[in-house]
Amino acid sequence: MSSKTKHLNWSDGNIRGRLPEDLTDPSRLPRGDSRSWLNSTTHLHTYTTTTGVVPGQYGHTAVSVSLDNCMSENTVNERPFGITTDQCGGKGDTTKQLSAPQRHRRVAANARERRRMHGLNRAFDKLRSVIPSLENEKKLSKYDTLQMAQIYITELSELLEGVVQSECRGPRGTCMPQDSLRRETSIQTFSPDSLVRTGLVYAMETTQPNMHLMSDARDAEDSLGHLLILATSKSDFSKDKNECAGSNGSDGESSHLSDAEDGQATAH
């Protein structure tokens, strides 16, 4: 986490995203900030609309939005609680006039979309929490999180496969007894030597040349959670992304086009 930013989490009843250190209180968000609608000074749990109430949006977040204000051109500069165009027509086409029911549906859809994205972000947070990283390491971006998860799962799978194969090379080709297997697996899995032996380090370095696998667990009994997959730097990893599974989401499965090409390809 950067010293100048603070990451807050919806699930903690706070705001997800980067806020200036002195603006962690949503009520102090600048007027133009896209998150200023999060201002919770009213402690309401509903949207107040012209057609009624949009029920329980965020539970922990109090949002009061008067669609009267949103829909009135005359009051566009008089939005309550720093409401921005996000809540009053969005950042896109703000010129289109919507009827009250249409506006109501649009606002409800926006709220659903926010909830959906928040759920997605919670999932990303959970994923980050199970990916080895440094305590002081800057929070992984979404793209980096997916990349790291992919690498991590692959390496663990290969590690497990290597362990199972080695254990099954016992006398007469039979697997070892369960408790013996468990003990041996524990040692093999968590010993740095075994990591090299099972190809984890090799695999890591072949798939991510600038990535080093370390273990702060001098004790072979320590958990795999202590393994730290380190990029020499975040930028190194980012640079590698261009050579590993595509760059910035532009792999073969998503988009292999440059921005310019993409623009042409998606132009309707």
Q: Distance (Å, rounded) from C-alpha 51 to C-alpha 68?
A: 10
- In 29-53, which positions are buried (b, 16+ CB within 10 angstroms) versus exposed (e)? beeebebbbbbbeeeebebbbeeee
CB of 157 to DNA, least distance (A): 25
Structure tokens at 15: 């705001």
Tell me which long-range contacts 213-220 makes (C-beta under 8 A, separation of at least 24).
Answer: 215/190, 217/190, 220/186, 220/187, 220/190, 220/191
Query: Scanning residues 76 to 115, which ones bind DNA (CB under 7 A)?
Result: 85-94, 96, 98, 105-114
Among 116, 126, 169, 256, binds DNA (CB under 7 A): 116
87 contact partners, CB below 8 Å, separation of at least 6: 37, 65, 70, 79, 107, 110
CB 69 within 8 A of CB 80: yes
Among 166, 185, 210, 238, binds DNA (CB under 7 A): 238
Q: Tally Cβ neighbours within 10 Å of residue 257.
A: 13
Q: Which of 53, 117, 153, 196 binds DNA (CB under 7 A)?
A: 117
Residue 248 Cβ vs DNA, minimum distance, rounded to whole Å: 5
Applying CB under 7 A, the site for DNA has a residue count of: 55
Q: Which is nearer to DNA, 86 or 167 (CB)?
A: 86
Nearer to DNA, 141 or 215 (CB): 141
CB 200 within 8 A of CB 211: no
Which two tokens mark 204?
């890591």
Instruction: Using the minimum distance from each CB to DNA, give the nearer residue, 70 or 200.
Output: 70
Which residue, among 91, 88, 51, 93, has the nearest Cα to 73 in the 3D structure?
88
Shortest Å distance, C-beta 198 to DNA:
31
Nearer to DNA, 68 or 219 (CB): 68
**Closer to DNA at the Cβ: 19 or 229?**
19
User: Residue 115 CB, nearest distance to DNA (Å)?
Assistant: 7
* Residue list 7-66, contact with DNA (CB under 7 A): 15-21, 23, 30, 32-35, 37-38
Report, in Å, the least distance between residue 38 CB and DNA.
Answer: 6
Measured from the CB atom, the residue of 8 and 187 that comes closer to DNA is 8
The residue ranges that bind DNA (CB under 7 A) are 2-5, 15-21, 23, 30, 32-35, 37-38, 85-94, 96, 98, 105-114, 116-118, 121, 139, 141-144, 235, 238, 248, 262, 266
